[in-house]
Amino acid sequence: MEQTQTVIEYYMELPKHLHFVRVAEQSDEGCDYYRMLSDYGSGSVRILNLHQQFLIVLADFTPLRDFEKVSEIKQEYFEISQFETDSSSFKVGGRKVKQVDRGICCYANSQKTAYAFCEAGKPTRFTKVIVTRSYFDQFLQNRYGDSYEISKNALDYLVQNPNSPELNFVFQQIKDCPAEGNTRALYMEGKVLEILSLVTHNLEQEQNRRHLPVKLDKKDKRSLGKAVTLMKRDLASYPSISQLAQTASMSPSRFQMAFRQVYGTTAYEYLKVMRMNYALLLLRNSDDNIRNVALKVGYHNAGHFSKLFKDTFGMGPQEYRDLHQIK
């Protein structure tokens, strides 16, 4: 098991443990580029270390064999990641192994042993932002002054409610950043601050909502998670509230109140957000035309899909592709 004092040290040492070698000619100050050794797979990892307070990791590799990474980091920090593949899994402490879904995934370090797994022969692509607790607390103090304590549970809220199209879009901007050197560092720090602003803003909105009180225990929350899994399993389908409630072992009315209380929105709005997040990935990583992308995320009317996409991201799907020169 690898033990390091800080999360920065852990991630800076991680590539060599996973059989990557640093490529000097493609690295510069503040950004290290690593290529996977051909005996172990193919692909690359880029790590941007900014002020020893946060890291940005961009990974795109395919291992030739399964691998497991075990770590125990004695520092408070959190990760917000955008996964473009679903070939990874993890577990913390003695909990069950959890598959990582495409989209936003959040993890707050509990200082327990963590296990990460990647499958042989399957691509692994993600962009990860790792922020120390001290950096986040300083951000809150600068934003809220003496009242910042009320927003310290923003991380817990994010871990439970990572489904944000705004976050997905910021991660795409991080991945597409063309700048280098000091300009890149300034741009990336701005994007990290934008992510932290979105996190606290979403929490503020949630605190301002008024929910009908529903007493929920851990079993109820796990049951709601089953309903979310049902929606994730096939984003092109449109399950009824009755189906979702049955999956969660609740009456339809209780399900709707409980879902809003836990996830901060309705089940159908949550489904729409998941669809938009997946559409963003499809537009970037596939050559499907707009109509086929719309069908894959559950919209038979491409015009309606395009309107929803623009309402969510501020630009239409074709405009997004043109902007990023995606064929």
Phi, psi of 138 (to 5 degrees): -65, -40
- Residue 101: inside a domain: yes
Give the span between the Cα atoms of 171 and 80, in whole angstroms: 10
- Residue 131: inside a domain: yes
- Residue 212: inside a domain: no
pLDDT of residue 140: 72
Q: Of 206, 226, 244, which residue constitutes the final position of a domain?
A: 206
Give the span between the Cα atoms of 162 and 83, in whole angstroms: 12
- Residue 211: inside a domain: no
- Residue 26: inside a domain: yes
In a shared domain, residues 42 and 68: yes
- Residue 71: inside a domain: yes
In a shared domain, residues 110 and 185: yes
Pairing mode, if any, of strands 67-73 and 2-4? parallel
- Residue 213: inside a domain: no
CATH of the domain at 190: 2.60.120.10
Give the span between the Cα atoms of 242 and 255, in whole angstroms: 9
In a shared domain, residues 76 and 53: yes
CATH of the domain at 223: 1.10.10.60
- The token pair that represents 212 in the structure block: 């009908």
In a shared domain, residues 68 and 193: yes
Q: Of 180, 206, 232, which residue constitutes the final position of a domain?
A: 206
| Residues of the chain under the 70 pLDDT cut | 1-5, 93-95, 110-111, 143-163, 201-213, 324-327
Overall pTM > 0.85 = no
Angle at 237 between CA 123 and CA 259, to 5 degrees: 95
3-state secondary structure the chain: CEEECCHHHHHHHHHHHCCEEECHHHCECCEEEEEECCCCEEEEEEEEEECCCEEEEEEEEEECCCEEEEEEECCCEEEEEEECCCCEEEEECCCCCEECCCEEEEEECCCCCEEEEECCCCCEEEEEEEEEHHHHHHHHHHHHHHHHHHHCCHHHHHHHCCCCHHHHHHHHHHHHCCCCHHHHHHHHHHHHHHHHHHHHHHHHHHHHCCCCCCCCCHHHHHHHHHHHHHHHHCCCCCCCHHHHHHHCCCCHHHHHHHHHHHHCCCHHHHHHHHHHHHHHHHHHHCCCCHHHHHHHCCCCCHHHHHHHHHHHHCCCHHHHHHHCCCC
Instruction: Tell me the C-alpha to C-alpha distance, in Å, between residue 269 and each of 193, 254, 274, 326.
Output: 26, 17, 9, 28
Instruction: Tell me the C-alpha to C-alpha distance, in Å, between residue 239 and each of 130, 165, 234, 290.
Output: 36, 21, 10, 23
Give the span between the Cα atoms of 327 and 313, in whole angstroms: 19
In a shared domain, residues 183 and 273: no
The CA dihedral of 133, 139, 140, 145, to the nearest 10 degrees, is 130
In a shared domain, residues 98 and 230: no
Instruction: Tell me the C-alpha to C-alpha distance, in Å, between residue 248 and each of 197, 227, 243.
Output: 33, 6, 9
In a shared domain, residues 147 and 34: yes
In a shared domain, residues 135 and 184: yes
pLDDT of residue 131: 86
Q: Of 154, 173, 206, which residue constitutes the final position of a domain?
A: 206
Q: Which of 266, 311, 267, 281 is nearest to 168 (CA)?
A: 281
In a shared domain, residues 104 and 235: no
In a shared domain, residues 182 and 57: yes
Domain that holds residue 312: 218-323
pLDDT of residue 62: 94
Q: Which amino acid is at 275?
A: R
In a shared domain, residues 154 and 234: no
Q: Which of 263, 327, 266, 272 is nearest to 305 (CA)?
A: 272
In a shared domain, residues 195 and 87: yes
Number of domains in the chain: 2
Give the span between the Cα atoms of 252 and 230, in whole angstroms: 16
- Residue 17: inside a domain: yes
Q: Which of 93, 20, 99 is nearest to 59 (CA)?
A: 20
